[in-house]
Amino acid sequence: GAGVSQSPRYKVTKRGQDVALRCDPISGHVSLYWYRQALGQGPEFLTYFNYEAQQDKSGLPNDRFSAERPEGSISTLTIQRTEQRDSAMYRCASSLSAKRGPTNEKLFFGSGTQLSVL
């Protein structure tokens, strides 16, 4: 597609339920990132994929959070047993190359999924 696509746009769930957030990166982009942004804060890194390999998951806050990208394209971020503190905007970003380590490539962000846990 033309840009990074995320779905759903809004997700309201009850505490204790599991949620799955989807990211469809720009076609051909091999690097994919997940970020979380609380209201009034900057985005906070969660995890990074190089093709299907999850190369950095240091930002995942606890074991209720997991992510996958099984075919190196679409990615899913899953939050199990959601809590109210999980409420935030979840953003996905992609970039073209798979260079190891730091890169000067710009990231392209999706519009995000706004998660509200009641």
Partner 1 sequence: KQEVTQIPAALSVPEGENLVLNCSFTDSAIYNLQWFRQDPGKGLTSLLLIQSSQREQTSGRLNASLDKSSGRSTLYIAASQPGDSATYLCAVRNLYSGYALNFGKGTSLLVTP
Binding residues for partner 1, per CB under 8 A? Answer: 3-4, 33, 35, 40-45, 48, 55-56, 58-59, 91, 93, 101-104, 106-112
Neighbour count for residue 36 (Cβ, 10 Å)? 21
Q: Least Å distance between CB 79 and partner 1?
A: 19
Please say which residue, 9 or 15, places its beta carbon nearer to partner 1.
9
**Is 33 or 65 the residue whose CB approaches partner 1 more closely?**
33
Other beta carbons within 10 Å of 39: 8
Cβ–Cβ under 8 Å, residues 93 and 32: yes
Using DSSP bridges, classify how beta strands 75-79 and 65-68 pair: parallel, antiparallel or unpaired: antiparallel
Q: Which is nearer to partner 1, 10 or 81 (CB)?
A: 10
